[in-house]
Amino acid sequence: MTRIVVDAMGSDTYPVPDVEGAVQAAREYGVEIILVGDEAKIKPVLEQQNTQGLKIRIVHAPEVLTMKDKGESLVLKARAKDSKNSMAVGMDLVKNGEADAFVTAGNTGAGMVTALFRLGRIRGVDRPALAPIFPTATGSCVVLDIGANPDCKPENLLQFGILGSIYAEKVRGIKHPKVGLVSNGEEEGKGNELVKAATPLLKSAGLNYFGNVEGKEVIGGKVDVAVTDGFTGNVMLKSSEAVAKLITDKIREIIKNGSLLTKIGGLLVKPALGEIKKLLDPSEQGAAPMLGINGLVFIGHGRSDAFAIKNAVRVAKNAVEVKVLDAMKNAIEESLKK
């Protein structure tokens, strides 16, 4: 049975959505759940759930990493051997072989730093990357990095391409995923110095390399993996989310304030709008993997609800079962020989 650690103190409104989502995942996906966090806060919520026949246990961790934890303070809490925060305790379970993956809706920066100190990096990976799934015209695209590494070297983008390609193939089920390099023009030679220097590395890496892609090509579904630095990726992510929200809000506003005919039309298209909302909803994916870490770590939105937590566990379970970590290690090892 796959064992998933859920950080019960992760979401903005912990522990209710974290616990409820974890219980739903245990019931629906048949996984063992280890809830990590303050037992005094977790237990009352867990007792309200129907857990009959489910394998769920609590591991007490009295401390919580928050958005206020930064700099030296965060590093000390992330690396100290006797750290008692939920992220450190949860990742130690993965490191010690007591669990297969870790899921949190907590502070992304804290998750990255804690993962680096508790689990370390895959040999040959300089910088792990956060890799969410973007909805596209033809399905989906793994985009990395989206914020963990604002400044990158060409070698980092090469590693992102390898890690993203393996993840898309193993977890997303895409054969020979096309890898694109995000740039301000499709033609080779376009882009800043980072993009230009990374191009020959990606071309010679044995990937199904597509070439340069602009943001519109990513959304248009031209590639399955889009490689970029964390600064550009984060701008892409935040802009995409904002545009999606603007469009759906405006459609809702026009229908609400429109004529009777407009309102009737709104009722007719409501099912279609529901499908579009589902497509754009990040909770459908639940969490993004942190690729390059020597362990399976998934980080979701702080505003995650139970549905998002449940889906995050589903994604983590899938990654465990297809042995994506081993595949990434092997791919990076092969790249080191070239």
Identity of the residue numbered 83: S
pLDDT of residue 92: 96
Which tokens in the block code for residue 31? Answer: 């996984």
pLDDT of residue 125: 93
Task: State the CATH class of domain 130-235+331-336.
Answer: alpha beta
CA 133 → CA 47, 136, 176, 221, 285, distances in Å? Answer: 34, 9, 17, 12, 7
The whole-angstrom separation of Cα 84 and Cα 61 is 5
pLDDT of residue 228: 95
What is the dihedral sign for C-alpha 207, 210, 211, 217?
negative
In CATH, which of 3.40.50.80, 3.40.718.10, 2.70.98.30, 3.20.20.140 is domain 3-128+285-322?
3.40.718.10
Residues 99-133 pLDDT 10s: 999 999 998 888 999 999 999 999 999 999 999 98
pLDDT of residue 329: 92
pLDDT of residue 279: 59
Contact 295, 95 (CB under 8 A): yes
The whole-angstrom separation of Cα 85 and Cα 63 is 4
pLDDT of residue 66: 77
Are domains 3-128+285-322 and 130-235+331-336 of this chain identical in fold?
Answer: yes
Per DSSP, the residues of 3-44 read: EEEEETT-STTTTHHHHHHHHHHHHHH--EEEEEE-HHHHHH
> Could you tell me the residue ranges of all domains in the chain?
3-128+285-322, 130-235+331-336, 246-278
Q: Which residues of the chain have pLDDT under 50?
A: none
CA 116 → CA 66, 127, 198, 209, distances in Å? Answer: 17, 9, 24, 29
CA 110 → CA 79, 113, 153, 271, distances in Å? Answer: 11, 5, 23, 39
pLDDT of residue 21: 97
pLDDT of residue 338: 65
pLDDT of residue 273: 65
